[in-house]
Amino acid sequence: MIDIQSIREDFPILAHTVYGKPLIYFDNAATTQKPRAVVEKITDGYYHVNANVHRGVHFLSQAATEAHEKARQVVQQFLNAASPNEIIFTRGTTEAINLIASSFTEACMEEGDEVILSAMEHHSNIVPWQLQATRRGIVLKVVPVNGKGELCMDTYRSLFSERTKLVSLTHVSNVLGSINPVKEIIREAHAHDVPVLLDGAQSVPHIKVDMQALDVDFYVFSGHKIYGPTGIGVLYGKEKWLDKLPPYQGGGEMIASVSFEKTVFNELPYKFEAGTPDYIGSTVLAEALHYVGKIGLDAIAAYEKELLQYATRQLKTIDGTRIFGEAAEKSSVLSFLIGTIHPYDMGMLLDRLGIAVRTGHHCAQPLMNALGIEGTVRASFSFYNTKEEIDAFIAGVRQVKEMF
Ligand code: PMP
């Protein structure tokens, strides 16, 4: 059960007003707000345990190292990964995908080899592969999306060839909300001996994920979308894969020894963490995961589903509404257009009512092209949102519609 009153009190920003109206924050797919415990952990880290990690013999450095490595274990438990060596801290989802795109193609792909993506990918899971297509001549194969916003699984199965080396797909679409059938996706890929990377940016804040149950090879997410700080994210990788891949960046931390003749790389996970890590960010991310864990992802998923269904029903009562993404399995993202009203106009006018939604292509231009539109209005809900806020949002959309 969600205790909405006490949860909202944990998020000071939710009590703000904008233009004299109570803030209604429906841009959670872009980034989430932070509970007090998370913000306080940042101050606490800098006030009480700040010292560079891994290199110091002194008390503070050891305390900071311990906290940073404890945070890695918290992430490991959150994902149910087999070992902390499989948890690499990155700057976020984007950097994690770039790391795999660079290191995996270097170690495991040759010119003409193929990676399978989908039409609903965020630019973060397209452009890194395109860079490798230019640099190394790898080939991108794209799974199309059907009218409901679901992956065309028959086409997915038909895309495998002996040149397929990796499948890289989003777990949940940031535009359509579709929760992709990742178990089936992974089973199929593994039947062809092909590993799978899942972009978990939009899944980990909303649904329980389990690396070992999924048997996924690589999984990535961003701290800031799961109530944690900006600038930190996670790459999970099976140890057997990470062992095979070369480092992404060079520098301190990722080496065992350096001479001008030969550098020996450090072991996992440090091999992929060049330079001073964001050791405050890691401990704050761990705090955010504790917070989410306390509420419970099952309770979060159930409550957010209720919000999504309520908002969808209400929005459909407005004439001229088009909803993009009606997959059978869907997370709390609602993309829509009303008649011919431009999404920017809708977004700007809702903003004047204190309602924060996202408008535009949502970093998914190929998906917009497939849908034949320029952009959508996107309302995305969190467990701290309420039905009353949805009522205000629906009244706002009606008001904007009447102005046109
Ligand atoms: N993938 C998906 C599905 C996303 O929604 C986002 C953020 N909008 C990203 C990747 C990129 O995340 P970040 O900017 O935190 O690296």
Residue 105 Cβ inside 6 Å of ligand 1? The answer reads no
Instruction: Kindly state the tokens that stand for 314.
Output: 């209400």
How remote is the CA of residue 340 from the centroid of ligand 1, in Å? 28
Per-residue pLDDT tens over the stretch 118-170: 999 999 999 999 999 999 999 999 999 999 999 999 999 999 999 999 999 99
Lowest mean pLDDT among 23-32, 48-57, 210-219, 336-345: 48-57
- How much is the pLDDT for 1? 83
The Cα–Cα gap between 289 and 131 comes to 33
Ramachandran quadrant class, 209 (left: phi over 0; alpha: psi -120 to 50; beta: rest): beta
> What tokens appear for 296 in the block?
């419970």
Q: What mean pLDDT do residues 281-295 have?
A: 98
Per DSSP, helices labelled H in 269-328 are 279-295, 297-316
CATH architecture assigned to 39-294: 3-Layer(aba) Sandwich (3.40)
Least confident segment among 1-5, 71-75, 246-250, 330-334 = 1-5
Residue 92 CB less than 6 A away from ligand 1: yes
What radius of gyration do the chain's Cα atoms show?
22
How far is residue 99's CA from residue 248's CA, in Å, rounded to a whole number?
6
Q: Which two tokens stand for residue 241?
A: 């894969």
- In angstroms, the CA 218 to CA 240 distance is 11
Q: What is the mean pLDDT of residues 217-236?
A: 98
Q: Answer yes or no: is the C-beta of 93 below 6 A from any ligand 1 atom.
A: yes
Dist. CA 185–CA 157, nearest whole Å? 9
Using alpha carbons only, give the angle 154, 158, 162 rounded to the nearest 5 degrees.
155
153, 151, 234: which is closest to 200 by C-alpha?
Answer: 234
pLDDT tens, position by position, 43-70: 999 999 999 999 889 999 999 999 999 9
175 contacts 119 by C-beta, under 8 angstroms: no
Distance 225 CA to ligand 1 centre (A): 8
In this predicted structure, the answer to whether residue 186 has a pLDDT above a threshold of 90 is: yes
Beta bridge partners of 360: 376
State residue 56's pLDDT score: 84
Cβ 155 vs Cβ 187: under 8 Å: no
Among residues 181, 186, 232, 231, the alpha carbon closest in space to that of 203 is found at 181
Nearest-atom number in ligand 1 for the CA of 224 is 15
- Indicate which residue's Cα is closest to atom 12 of ligand 1: 93
The residue with tokens 């998020």 is 11
C-alpha–C-alpha distance, residues 168 and 143, integer Å: 11
Ligand 1 site-directed mutation target among 202, 235, 365, most atoms within 8 Å of CB: 202
**DSSP-derived 3-state class of residue 178:** strand
Nearest CA to ligand 1 atom 14: 94
Computed over every residue of the chain, the mean pLDDT equals 97
Decide whether any atom of ligand 1 lies within 6 Å of the 202 Cβ: yes
The single residue listed with the structure tokens 């274990």 is 73
The CATH number of the structural domain formed by 4-30+296-403 is 3.90.1150.10
Region of residue 369 (left: phi > 0; alpha: psi -120 to 50; beta: else): alpha
Task: Extract the tokens encoding 64.
Answer: 């900071």
Cα(28) to ligand 1 centroid in Å equals: 12
Residue 245 above 90 pLDDT?
yes
Percentage helix, strand, coil for the chain under 3-state DSSP, each rounded to 5: 45, 20, 35
pLDDT value at position 111? Answer: 98
pLDDT at 306: 98
Distance 108 CA to ligand 1 centre (A): 25
Domain residue ranges in the chain: 4-30+296-403, 39-294
361-365 mean pLDDT: 97
pLDDT confidence bin for 324, thresholds 50/70/90: very high
Distances (CA, A) of 235 to 220, 269, 403: 5, 10, 46
What's the confidence (pLDDT) of residue 19? 97
80-111 residue pLDDT tens: 999 999 999 999 999 999 999 999 999 999 99
Which amino acid, residue 224?
H
Active site residues: 363
Assign residue 276 a region: left if phi > 0, alpha if psi is -120 to 50, beta otherwise?
A: beta
Give one DSSP letter per residue of 109-160, joined into a string: --TT-EEEEETT--GGGTHHHHHHHHHH--EEEEE-B-TTS-B-HHHHHHT-
> DSSP string covering 370-394, please?
HHT-S-EEEEE--TT--HHHHHHHH
Average pLDDT over residues 70-85: 98
Say what the pLDDT of residue 55 is. 80
Query: What six digits make up the tokens of 299?
Result: 């309770």
- Length of the chain equals 404
Q: Taking a C-beta distance cutoff of 8 angstroms, is the pair 327, 177 a contact?
A: yes
Q: Do the domains 4-30+296-403 and 39-294 sit in the same CATH topology, yes or no?
A: no
Is the minimum distance from the CB of 214 to ligand 1 under 6 angstroms? no
CA of residue 299 relative to chain centroid, distance: 20
Who contacts 59 (Cβ-Cβ below 8 Å, separation ≥6)? none
C-beta separation of 179 from 304 below 8 A: no
> For position 103, what pLDDT does the model report?
98
3-class secondary structure, 255? strand
* Closest protein CA for atom 8 of ligand 1: 30
The CB of 170 under 6 Å from ligand 1? The reply is: yes
Distance of alpha carbon 68 from alpha carbon 243, whole angstroms: 22
